[in-house]
Structure 1
Amino acid sequence: MKKTLKELVCLSFNTKSLILIIILSGSLSMGAIAQDKIIDAFKQSYALERTENFKGAIESLKAVYQTDVYELNLRLGWLTYLAGQVKESVEYYSKAVSLKPYAIEPKLGLVLPLAIQGKWVEIEELYLKILQTDPNNSLVNYRLGLIYYNRGNFDKADSYLEKVVNLYPFDYDGLILLAWNKLNLQKSRESKVLFQKVLMNNPDDPSALEGLKLIK
């Protein structure tokens, strides 16, 4: 019996749909298998890291490496850093940064191998980018303040360190560094108050006591 045009079109459509479903089902199955392998590789890498077998941990992830997978690049950045592979660590972390431009964790990770190389200008740029996303990040504000303090740029360090102390008013690290920064800015009264707060946090702290002697 001859089929109508409408019936032929419906048959063709149903056949194509069936083929598409089969293809998609196969792709999803392959994707699930690949994902399981990646998860297993991560699990193995953690176990090897705990035994300080960093090379083995790296190889476990390289076996399933995909250049566009953020998590693989981030993890490999960390492991290659631990293994002393500084160049490779920079490359993996940089790739992670490019894959997630607004993420903070890959930038903080990238700081690690850059610090080994003494690339403080690049580190400063990374910290400033982080603050564009998270202006109140206390860790980054402290580290930027410390960079400027070590350069002797006390004016520039001041605003970052003040932000840290405003966020964490009884934090030892923030208080002691801001106290010394204020002293270097010849703001003795503010410095004295801060050194005294340090002593409330850590009585007999030698750094705070030294600072107070200089004020007297």
Structure 2
Amino acid sequence: MQAGTREMKHTRQRSLIMLRSFATGFVAVTLLAWGPAAAAAEGDQVGQRFASSFAHEAKGEIDEALNDMLIILRGDAKHYVATLRSGWLYYIGGRYADSIAMYEAADKLAPSALEPRLGLMLPLMASERWAKAEVVGKELAKLAPRDYTVRSRLAWIAFAQGRYKEAETLYQAVLADYPSDLEMMLGLAWTWLREGRKPEAKGMFQRVLSIRSDNVQARTGLQSL
């Protein structure tokens, strides 16, 4: 009787061990199978949010486009692209302080990248924080000395602050690399106009109009001579 009882106990113990082993294995296999699927599903949701955001932006629905990015960031606060794009959407929505905060956050996530600081210059310039924008621009110029965007923005910053001789030098330097750039031609023309160099300004405005006869800025410049 005792031997039979011991055998029954051993049998139950073996059954429990087998059941636990099966359960553990089942959970492990289930997790392995579920993990990639969940990751893929999450990736699909992020992709859908980006697609939705771009579609909203194309229709001028900036708040909706931004909301898609903020939903991504609620799930992953360190998502670089969503952070960077939020900075852009805040900027075009006129919320410059929020844009600055997002671009600075993106810069911390990718400290060796140029684009967050290029983006940061936009709301700084839009809010006329010229000194800070210039500091950022000059830091970028050290990293990318002949970058078009950096130099053209530094030229505009100098112009906006009335430093016309410096603006002239910067516009001419960019035009030396991009001789067909109408924006830089216009920048130089307006700089010359502010310096009182009307013949040079007139010639540059006319040069722009010889390429784009419908250019409003060039026509306005000529009318102001």
Instruction: Indicate yes or no: 2:132 matched with 1:122.
Output: yes
- Post-superposition Cα deviations, 1:116-174, rounded to whole Å, max 9, x if no partner, equal 32211111122212222322222321221222233232343343222111012243332
Q: SS at the partner of 2:72?
A: coil
**Match for 1:173: what amino acid?**
E
- Match of 2:12? none
- Match of 2:207? 200
Aligned positions of 1:8-157 closer than 5 A: 26-65=34-73, 66-157=76-167
Verify the 8 A CA contact 1:179 1:192 in the aligned structure 2: no
> Cα RMSD (Å) of the superposition?
3.4
Relative to 1, partners in 2 of residues 1:117 and 1:170: Cα closer, same or farther, differing over 3 Å? closer
Verify the 8 A CA contact 1:93 1:106 in the aligned structure 2: yes
TM-score, with length taken from structure 1: 0.69
How far apart, in 1, do the equivalents of 2:85 and 2:60 lie? 15
How far apart, in 2, do the equivalents of 1:68 and 1:152 lie? 40
- Post-superposition Cα deviations, 1:18-53, rounded to whole Å, max 9, x if no partner, equal x99986665444332221111011112222233333
Aligned residues: 190
Relative to 1, partners in 2 of residues 1:89 and 1:178: Cα closer, same or farther, differing over 3 Å? closer
How far apart, in 2, do the equivalents of 1:157 and 1:146 lie? 7
Verify the 8 A CA contact 1:172 1:201 in the aligned structure 2: yes
How far apart, in 1, do the equivalents of 2:111 and 2:142 lie? 12
How far apart, in 2, do the equivalents of 1:144 and 1:72 lie? 27
Give the Å deviation of 1:83.
Answer: 3.5
How far apart, in 2, do the equivalents of 1:199 and 1:126 lie? 34
Give the Å deviation of 1:73.
Answer: 0.2
Relative to 1, partners in 2 of residues 1:64 and 1:168: Cα closer, same or farther, differing over 3 Å? closer
Instruction: Indicate yes or no: 2:174 matched with 1:164.
Output: yes
Relative to 1, partners in 2 of residues 1:118 and 1:152: Cα closer, same or farther, differing over 3 Å? closer
Task: Name the larger-Rg structure.
Answer: 2
Verify the 8 A CA contact 2:125 2:157 in the aligned structure 1: no
Structure 1, gaps ≥5 residues long: 1-18, 212-216
Structure 2, gaps ≥5 residues long: 1-26
